[in-house]
Amino acid sequence: MRRVVITGIGAVTPVGNDAPTTWESIRAGRHGFSKIDRFETDDIGVSVAAFLKDFDPSDVVDKKEQRRTDPYCQYALCAATEALRDCGSDLKDLDPYRVGVIVGSGIGGMQTYEEEIHKFFEKGPKRVSVFFIPMMISNMAAGNISIRTGFKGVNFAPVTACASSAHAVGEAFHQIKNGYLDACIAGGAEATVTRFAMAGFNNMGALSRSEDPDRASIPFDKERDGFVMGEGAAILVLEELEHALGRGAKIYAEIAGYGATGDAYHITSPSPDGEAAAKAMQLAFEEAGLTAADIDYINAHGTSTPVNERYETIAIKKALGDAAKTVAVSSTKSMTGHMLGAAGAIEAIITALSLRDGIIPPTVGYRVPDEECDLDVVPNTARKQNIKAALSNSLGFGGHNATLCLKKYQG
């Protein structure tokens, strides 16, 4: 089977408008949470979110195109442009049918949906934009990236809630490994810091109601009370190893395994037994030719909800056995917030950079230990440590589990 490596990364996140700035913030343990000032929140009950700061897509998306694309799609285009620039090639030496685009979104064009539904009820159906549907649907980040780049290979958008972009990266990995593609643009995008979306998530009890940004997203902490809504995009360029070496590409890390399972349990809660999530982890590291003892770090799903970390801890213990006692586990959602459909991809990028630089990112805001989450959660300060193999977990509403196994590239 062919080997697959990461040769380009791009990111637009609450802690940085590009990948290097995002990584600098993550290493430093800086979160991106602040009080919401975009819309009225008093009647919603949630006042903190993780939104983009001073973001302007104009260098990539002109004014006309901005009027015809939802913010989630603009984020994706900016991150994809950065990733391709970063990889050092436009990949035009490859057959365009051998370069794919797999970019997911958990929800798609929520801002567009919210704006157009107001028009519909206030001004009538004739005032709904002719661009409403192509702006809203979740596949248009993948579609627009393909249109922009000319890549004509496999092109689709996984929609598995919070696991969407982890599935995108995993499916891209398999497409290249199994010989269907030579390269793929993979990742996810989300733009759900809107009044409508915040109301919906809050009414189901998913969001943190903390008014203190420093105590809002606190994964593994006993006082956690829900996730902080994030937004942005993360895109990776995956490439077959020999092609990457042939053009002298820099290599961030190798993707070596991927596990995908379903809980078959509940529409929002992870399964309490952790069995299916554990199976996804095992499938990932076994495909990579590794054992549980080989895993040095896990970038946890770690949403800061009361049940997630409890059940994810159970899953990690089931997957790794005795090795769970010593493996480092952290949640970078303690800094980025929960970017929903973009979460898996940004966490894959962070995991790749952790392998490259030998730095395990921290779980920030951690103060009160939870006896039910008795893992090494790397509290508050990044740890310098040589890591050779890591897992990145994503668990989505509906019971969708995806785990990526990454290796440090050593030739």
Domain co-membership, 291 together with 191: no
Tell me, yes or no, whether 410 lies in a domain. no
Domain co-membership, 240 together with 323: no
Tell me, yes or no, whether 252 lies in a domain. no
Which residue in 79, 32, 34, 36 sits closest to 59, CA to CA?
Answer: 79
Tell me, yes or no, whether 411 lies in a domain. no
DSSP secondary structure code for residue 77 in this structure: H
Domain co-membership, 62 together with 207: yes
Domain co-membership, 235 together with 277: no
Domain co-membership, 129 together with 187: yes
Which amino acid does the sequence have at 203?
Answer: N
Question: Which is the catalytic residue, given 162, 184, 373, 405?
Answer: 162
Tell me, yes or no, whether 335 lies in a domain. yes
Tell me, yes or no, whether 132 lies in a domain. yes
Residue 301 a catalytic site member: yes
Residue 405 a catalytic site member: no
Q: What is the pLDDT of residue 1?
A: 79
Tell me, yes or no, whether 84 lies in a domain. yes
Give the chain's end-to-end CA distance (angstroms, integer). 16
The CATH number of the domain where 79 resides is what? 3.40.47.10
Task: Tell which of 218, 246, 274 closes a domain.
Answer: 246
Domain co-membership, 151 together with 54: yes
Enumerate residues 6+ apart whose C-beta is below 8 A from 278. 314, 315, 316, 318, 319
Question: Which is the catalytic residue, given 31, 167, 338, 400?
Answer: 338
CA pair distance 69, 56, nearest whole angstrom: 14
For the chain, give percent helix, strand, coil, nearest 5: 40, 20, 40
Percent of the chain with pLDDT over 90: 100
Domain co-membership, 344 together with 214: no
Domain co-membership, 156 together with 296: no
What pLDDT, in 10s, does the model give residues 330-388? 999 999 999 999 999 999 999 999 999 999 999 999 999 999 999 999 999 999 999 99
Q: What is the pLDDT of residue 261?
A: 98
Domain co-membership, 37 together with 153: yes
Domain co-membership, 310 together with 178: no
The ranges of the chain with pLDDT < 70 are none
Contact 112, 137 (CB under 8 A): no
CA pair distance 271, 277, nearest whole angstrom: 8
Contact 394, 163 (CB under 8 A): yes
Question: Which is the catalytic residue, given 301, 373, 400, 405?
Answer: 301
Q: What is the pLDDT of residue 88?
A: 98
Domain co-membership, 215 together with 138: yes
Burial class, 107, CB count within 10 angstroms (exposed 0-12 / middle 13-18 / buried 19+)? buried
DSSP secondary structure of 128-177: S-TTHHHHHSTTHHHHHHHHHH---SSEE----GGGHHHHHHHHHHHHHH
Task: Tell which of 246, 266, 282 closes a domain.
Answer: 246
- Tokens found for residue 100: 């794919």
- Tokens found for residue 361: 């990112």
Residue 338 a catalytic site member: yes
Q: What is the pLDDT of residue 47?
A: 96
Domain co-membership, 162 together with 291: no
What range does the domain containing 305 cover? 258-405
Tell me, yes or no, whether 51 lies in a domain. yes
Task: Tell which of 186, 211, 246 closes a domain.
Answer: 246
Q: Which residue has the tokens 């998913």?
A: 206
Tell me, yes or no, whether 336 lies in a domain. yes
Count up the domains in the chain and report the number. 2
